[in-house]
Structure 1
Amino acid sequence: MPYSTFSDAQVLSLIKAIDSDGYAVLPGWASPSQLKDLQALVSRTVAEAGNDYVALSGRQAVAGSHLHDWGGSREFVDLCRRIVAGVTGEPSADTGMTQTLRCLTGNGGRRESLIFHYDSFVLTTILPLCMPESGERGDLLMIPSRRPIRGSYARNLLDKVLVDNKWAQRYLKNKFSNESDAFTRISMQPGHMYLFWGYRSLHTNLPVAEDALRATAVFHYHNVHGSSSLASRLRKSLGTLEEQEMGEDVPQT
């Protein structure tokens, strides 16, 4: 990782970029050699999954890789903490982050695309590892800052329910087809780190050709409602995390 420490001015610049453009970029987060190693990991992972969609969740799932190291990096966590504190006005108590390696290819990759959602975490960062060079590249698509940070988990849950249904999904897909200028479309480059407000921005990825491969490492920081008693009760009653919002906490970007 070429980045170690960030000045207050650099952190503020990242926040301003996300606020104005919908996202910020840290170029060359992964060095060429690191990117090569991670692409080899992706190739093995996809092959073991029968050359179809696969997602590896958590640091231990990528143990021994640079992704494992970055997921626990004090410098990376500190950067995320400062960005979140800068936008919310409150320091986060989180000492780690949630991460997933997400590989889109084959028919499964198409099924896992174009699903609009909000994240449960304030900050989402995406490191593309493999991207198609032409055709359907799986670009990141979003409507930035579409909602505020909710004061309650119940209101956050309502936001998700209003999006997580076939009618809303159909409406958003049609809107993109007819009014693409209403969306921010990001053509990501392997090795760069992209940061955006995952909680506030309605987002998804565009489809990838079945014979192509799009692999991204997704890191989330600061679960807004992580301590909610309602969220805890729902988890227990459902036997799983509601936050797996069609997937970004099992990511969809």
Structure 2
Amino acid sequence: MFPSLPSETAIALVGDMNTRGYGVAENCISPEALASLRRHVQDSVSQTGGEYIAFGGPDALRGTFLQEMARSANFQALCRDLYRIGTQKSAPPVSFYQLLRCLAGKTGQQNAWFFHYDSYVLTVLVPILIPTEGQPGDLILFPNTRPIRKTYLGNLIDKILLDNALTQFLLRKGVQTGRVKPEKIRMTPGNVYFFWGCRSVHTNEPCDPDKIRATALFHYVDPHAHSWLRKTLLRLRNRQPLMTPVEAGIKIPQPA
């Protein structure tokens, strides 16, 4: 499912992630696995009428190569080594959060240019379908722009400063005009890409609406998974809204 890589590979990957912002392990995904995933992606996009679709969590990817990759002892060992070397801490016993994104159609273009930090320390990106003509949806990366925040509050402040209309507009225009120069990564299927997701601002450019850009993501180790503040905010966000008077069966007097 995933090759056994020498220990020197993990050291080299972390070195690349710390300097240029990302590391690449070449030819780790077999052509047969890619072909199977591409059929799955193409069938799924076809069912949407050629528009964007995403699958999150292990249940949504059950029966695919991505489920098997997450279970691979070699892949798990590599991610543990990357985390240990990069953070100088042992990796906690946690599983991956998986996501498969399929950009296509107009809705695919709408799911581009959103600059963000991931909630997880390590992000592993597996390209499945990358257009070879026109706009391929390159990965845009501002690497290692912050440390791993010790508290969820510090992380939340960073995200608020980034996830607002003004900041998003300035970053997008800066990249489009060339005034801001991030790492721009043209991905090759078969390779696997690694970067510090929670430390790096990143997004993807749009791809042409008549093409498909499909990538799988493996997120590893959420440093704030047990934050009381985070759990409280999630409960508040997921709480059912209060009923309106009409929904509650209360008659409102009409004006004379």
- TM-score, length-normalised on structure 1? 0.91
Q: What aligned pairs does 1:31-180 form with structure 2 within 5 A after superposition?
A: 31-179=30-178
- State the distance in 1 between where 2:96 and 2:11 align: 21
- State the distance in 2 between where 1:221 and 1:239 align: 24
- State the distance in 2 between where 1:164 and 1:181 align: 18
> Helix, strand or coil: the match of 2:121?
strand
Deviations 1:35-79, CA, capped at 9 Å, x for gaps: 111100111111122211000011221111110111222321221
Q: What aligned pairs does 1:184-203 form with structure 2 within 5 A after superposition?
A: 184-203=183-202
The amino acid that maps onto 1:3 is P
- State the distance in 1 between where 2:225 and 2:179 align: 34
* Contact 1:77–1:95 (CA under 8 A) maintained in structure 2: no
Indicate the structure (1 or 2) with the bigger Cα radius of gyration.
2
2:4 equivalent in structure 1: 4
Question: C-alpha displacement at 1:224, in angstroms?
Answer: 1.3
- State the distance in 2 between where 1:59 and 1:131 align: 23
- State the distance in 2 between where 1:228 and 1:2 align: 33
Question: C-alpha displacement at 1:177, in angstroms?
Answer: 2.2
Report the identity percentage.
37
Q: CA RMSD in A?
A: 1.4
1:234 aligns with 2:247: no
**1:221/1:147 Cα in 2 relative to 1: closer, same or farther (>3 Å)?**
same
Question: C-alpha displacement at 1:81, in angstroms?
Answer: 1.4
The amino acid that maps onto 2:108 is G
- State the distance in 2 between where 1:38 and 1:175 align: 35
1:243 equivalent in structure 2: none
- State the distance in 2 between where 1:226 and 1:108 align: 31
The amino acid that maps onto 1:114 is W
Which runs of 5 or more residues in structure 1 are unaligned?
Answer: 241-253
1:245 equivalent in structure 2: none
Question: C-alpha displacement at 1:2, in angstroms?
Answer: 4.7
2:208 equivalent in structure 1: 209
> Helix, strand or coil: the match of 2:40?
helix
Which runs of 5 or more residues in structure 2 are unaligned?
Answer: 240-256
Question: C-alpha displacement at 1:182, in angstroms?
Answer: 2.1
